Structure 1
């Protein structure tokens, strides 16, 4: 048991370094965002300092992951996933379904009526309508999606999505921050 705990603690530094590098962040950037010194971050990443909660909590916040995911804590035997709904500044609620920033992520959105405001950013977006009707604006084009319908688009195109009427809409939203796309293992396996 003690050896397993030592192995777990010894793996945290390299894991923190992997989180930082996967996000293309420098030690200086993480230090600025976390309030920790570059020296502390470097010593923790290289194993010269044991990570403590006063270091791990700010890093979990910077990397936007739970503390148990950050340290790769062993499972507790409870298979339930504890989702954390968050209110969005633009209105509605978002529920992150995955916790892997830097890769394709899944969210459930519940969006209420709001004014359209086109935005553009890097990545790749895929939407699936669970309930309600979704209004999707892509530059000068408008699309109405019904439950069970999907859309995918390059979010560098100015876009907005929300309810098509006065009722809320629920969607499943997959987003790849670097243009990553949700890919089926069956892609390319059609008739030849």
Structure 2
């Protein structure tokens, strides 16, 4: 699948966002299938060889950090990365964002529920999207607290809401929630600290 090409202003790279989004989606589908499969030896060997081949192809296309696509394409689902549960931002302004997320089978923690560690991972990703907005200095997570209110079930569209609560100098406080319909599944709060010039 291919879509509109966009010229990247950081080196003249031409990016096909739809094709890249499809590649990330296929990666997610593979991980979901891997999480539930019981492959025999020959199948595992064949898949291992195939994956090694594809890793070699991608290794030949490695770019400097500033030019990479993974987690950096604002116009596509999950910003073009497969590390977190899939999400899509539906509304966004300087105060926060709303969206939808889906925990696939790769994030299974038992009995049809998402792994408890995957929920804070998603919150940290979304908080970073709000805190590290346009024109703001980059910030790092200093504190992240999650309260689990109800089971986060797999393969369901879940509502997301994240908002900036307050700012005190270099400190930025943010809150968020994940809902399954009207049920609050998890709430979180975090503190981010803006980096000083030269800090990694």
The TM-score normalised by the length of structure 1 is 0.27
Q: Which structure: greater strand fraction?
A: 2
In our comparison, the structure showing a higher alpha carbon Rg is: 1
TM-score (norm 2): 0.27
Flag the structure with more relative contact order, 1 or 2, with Cα contacts below 8 A and sequence separation at least 6.
1
